[in-house]
Structure 1
Amino acid sequence: MKLHLFICFSLFLGLTSFSQQISGSELLNKAIKYHDPNNNWETFNASFNVIMETPNNSNRNSKIVINLPEEHFYLKAKRDTIITEYNLNKDTCTISLNGEKNISDDVLKANNLSCERASLYKNYYTYLYGLPMKLKDDGTIIDNKVEQKTFKGKDYLVLKVNYDSNVGKDVWYFYFNPENYAMEVYQFYKTDDKGSVKKDSGEYILLTGEEIIRGIKMPKNRAWYYNKADDYLGTDILKK
């Protein structure tokens, strides 16, 4: 027992020491090297599918196309008998509902369809599936200090990220495996008018499995939970 405790304590000290030696930018670079070893993200052009599972709802099946060089984004989502499509080509936006493109304003409003929503989806999927590479974007503030934390019984190197006010107000934490620098958890909190974190706000996301899309290791499963009370929200499942 004493030997076991000594070994665990020694490992903890080693991890803590390492987290003090590595900077935030160095940790991010190592994580990007793991997820995108050939620097493919800047020229990313691929399609993939996402199944969203949520409690008490039928699944939503989505086909997503992200073409960064051509500034093109396409989303086709199907839930039950409803099929919606968003197509963004640079500044041009088209929307269809069950194959119909000539949609009245009343129908658009009733189904919460708009080009503003299309842009939100584009930013949402590009950000999530572009992590951790997207942390190199302008307006992202990487904390230089790397922390060692235990989350759900596992040790991580944790990167704190803030954003310029014109980008976002949330505070994010990214949890990386200390052995291979794979991103396994991320978490965000809302802030108040003074910029202080609201501890009972926000969500955390557990990442499991991997799919390789255009040479990039992307999380296969994203399980979403509220920080407050660990309430489960749903899971996104990535499929080629």
Structure 2
Amino acid sequence: MRILSILLVFLSLSGLCAQSLTSEEVLNKAIAFHDPEQKWKSFKGTFNIRMETPNAADRYSTIQMDFPKRTFTLQVRQDGDSYGYFFEGDSCSTQLNGSTSISDEDRKAYRLTCERGKMMQNYYTYLYGLPMKLKDPGSNLDQKVQTKTFKGKEYLVLKVSYDEKVGDDVWYFYFDPKTYAMEVYQFYHDESKGDGEYILLKDLEEVSNIKMPKTRAWFYNKDNKYLGTDILTLPQE
């Protein structure tokens, strides 16, 4: 009984210790886990993503990012076609099946515009740059560290809102209380309506010394409907 009592006191103190951390401290610990060598700001790497969605052919994407050179490339293959967006500094170009000569009809069908390419660049840079991207200007970290149980596991949770010019959604990031690994994130367009989505993260892949989620499964918040899964792999050498 004495051993059990000591164990319960220890667990209780551990919980209090986690609760005493500030949101900034939790974020710093999470960044230290995912980017221990602080490589993100100078990231240079290539990775592949296979996207599985119900009732659709798998989509294969290759992403190349080189922050020092300000380059970003997204090349996509699906249903026998390939298309891509290429950014070098402020310069942008697009391709469809290896050609830069694209008809207005095809450009509309494949959404091959630089505006769309910039949106995809921001999308991939944000999601695969988490949690480091939460340090960016315009990200507003709530001061309170929440404790939530999600899918049967207890997490330390950070709430983040954004300046209007950055985004309108409210995000929640779920971290393992022992390792500070990011295992879930969730966003709402209007939290009072329970809309938006949650994303379950599983396993890790090391890309240029950064631990990125290998698998991301997407679901609606409202009814838990499954939307799709992204699977990250590294190029074969």
Band the TM-score falls in, shorter-chain normalisation? over 0.9
Shift of 1:9: 7.3
Encode CA deviations 1:20-66: one digit per residue, 9 max, x unaligned.
31111000000000000000001100010000000111100111001
Does the Cα contact within 8 Å between 1:190 and 1:198 map onto a contact in 2?
no
User: 1:19 and 1:219, CA in 2 relative to 1: closer, same or farther beyond 3 A?
Assistant: same
Does the Cα contact within 8 Å between 1:20 and 1:145 map onto a contact in 2?
no
Q: How does 1:141-152 map to 2 (within 5 A)?
A: 141-152=140-151
Q: Secondary structure at the match of 1:88?
A: strand
CA distance in 2, matches of 1:15, 1:229: 34
Q: Which of 208, 211, 227 is residue 217 of structure 1 equivalent to?
A: 211
CA distance in 1, matches of 2:31, 2:182: 9
1:119 counterpart residue number = 118
- Across the two proteins, how many residue pairs are aligned to each other? 233
Paired AA for residue 106 in structure 2: V
Q: How does 1:13-52 map to 2 (within 5 A)?
A: 13-14=12-13, 16-52=15-51
CA distance in 2, matches of 1:116, 1:206: 29
Does the Cα contact within 8 Å between 1:16 and 1:148 map onto a contact in 2?
no
- Unaligned 5+ residue runs, structure 1? 192-196
The percent of aligned pairs where both chains have the same amino acid is: 52
User: 1:48 and 1:205, CA in 2 relative to 1: closer, same or farther beyond 3 A?
Assistant: same
Give the TM-score taking structure 1 as reference length: 0.92
Paired AA for residue 228 in structure 2: G
User: 1:152 and 1:11, CA in 2 relative to 1: closer, same or farther beyond 3 A?
Assistant: farther
1:94 counterpart residue number = 93
1:205 counterpart residue number = 199
User: 1:113 and 1:8, CA in 2 relative to 1: closer, same or farther beyond 3 A?
Assistant: farther
Paired AA for residue 226 in structure 1: Y
CA distance in 2, matches of 1:163, 1:34: 24
Q: Secondary structure at the match of 1:18?
A: helix
1:194 counterpart residue number = none
CA distance in 1, matches of 2:9, 2:122: 43
Shift of 1:109: 1.2
2:226 counterpart residue number = 232
CA distance in 2, matches of 1:149, 1:103: 50
Shift of 1:104: 2.2
CA distance in 2, matches of 1:81, 1:144: 49
2:168 counterpart residue number = 169
CA distance in 2, matches of 1:232, 1:44: 32
Shift of 1:70: 1.3
Q: Secondary structure at the match of 1:122?
A: helix
Does the Cα contact within 8 Å between 1:19 and 1:147 map onto a contact in 2?
no
Give the TM-score taking structure 2 as reference length: 0.93
Aligned-residue RMSD, C-alpha: 2.0
